[in-house]
């Protein structure tokens, strides 16, 4: 457990220089929320970018030849893999929390209320998206160099971003979504939360051992 924590801390150390750049995403999310007068939009905007952020680690890893560093550290491959997955999940969850707080603040400023159920739906969907992206992305980066898989691994993000922009500009998607949410009672809040959390964790639990096998084979 101690070595896994060290692995997480090492990943954080490698990426912390890029956190300032990532803060620009919050500025963009705020602008979009103000323009469309929809504070809850901050959550999907931030998460769409936060999910693939972990790929920056592999870019730094490849450019600085960090394989030599990891080769001399007393870390097992399994600890490196588990640490990487845990760090990616924590990064996604923390950004969901921060974007949720930002959405709440904007709802007060814009006088646009956000229902509890609406928060739960966006949070559970965001968590599922983060887990899905991590489950697909990390095995690829453990197997192939960053330069070979970056475009393919991040293509879903570009497609989702374009699709969201289209929905917000060309349709009354947010209004229709809010009406659809009203059909659900508070008793179904737990169903949304369990669905997003359960499916997301299943994806990660399947992907993590796969990444370990890929990482072990590539090292050999």
Model confidence over 143-194: pLDDT tens digits? 888 777 766 666 666 666 666 666 656 666 555 555 555 555 455 666 767 7
Confidence of residue 6 (pLDDT cuts 50, 70, 90): confident
How many domains is the chain built from?
1
The verdict on pTM exceeding 0.75 is yes
Of the candidates 66, 215, 63, the one whose C-alpha atom is nearest the C-alpha of residue 150 is 63
d(CA 122, CA 45): 11
Residue 91 reports pLDDT greater than 90: yes
**DSSP 3-state assignment of 122?**
helix
Of the candidates 25, 65, 61, 64, the one whose C-alpha atom is nearest the C-alpha of residue 157 is 25
For residues 156 and 47, the answer to whether their CB atoms sit within 8 Å is: no
Q: Which residues contact 216 (CB under 8 A, 6 or more apart)?
A: 77
- Structural domain of 166: 2-219
């Amino acid at each position: 457990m101690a070595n896994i924590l060290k692995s997480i801390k090492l990943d954080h150390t490698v990426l912390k220089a890029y956190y300032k750049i990532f803060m620009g995403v919050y500025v963009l999310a705020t602008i979009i929320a103000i323009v469309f007068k929809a504070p809850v939009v901050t959550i999907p905007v931030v998460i769409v970018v936060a999910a693939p952020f972990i790929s920056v680690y592999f870019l730094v890893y490849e450019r600085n030849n960090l394989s030599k560093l990891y080769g001399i550290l007393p870390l097992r491959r399994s600890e490196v893999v588990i640490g990487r997955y845990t760090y990616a999940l924590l990064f996604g969850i923390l950004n969901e929390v921060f974007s949720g707080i930002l959405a709440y603040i904007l709802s007060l400023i814009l006088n646009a209320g956000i229902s509890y159920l609406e928060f739960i739906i966006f949070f559970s969907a965001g968590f599922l998206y983060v887990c899905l992206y991590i489950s697909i992305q990390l095995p690829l980066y453990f197997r192939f160099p960053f330069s070979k898989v970056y475009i393919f691994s991040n293509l879903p993000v570009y497609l989702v971003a374009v699709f969201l922009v289209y929905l917000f500009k060309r349709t009354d998607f947010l209004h229709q979504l809010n009406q659809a949410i009203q059909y659900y009672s508070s008793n179904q809040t737990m169903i949304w939360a369990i669905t997003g959390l359960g499916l997301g964790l299943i994806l990660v639990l399947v992907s993590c051992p796969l990444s370990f096998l890929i990482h072990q084979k590539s090292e050999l």
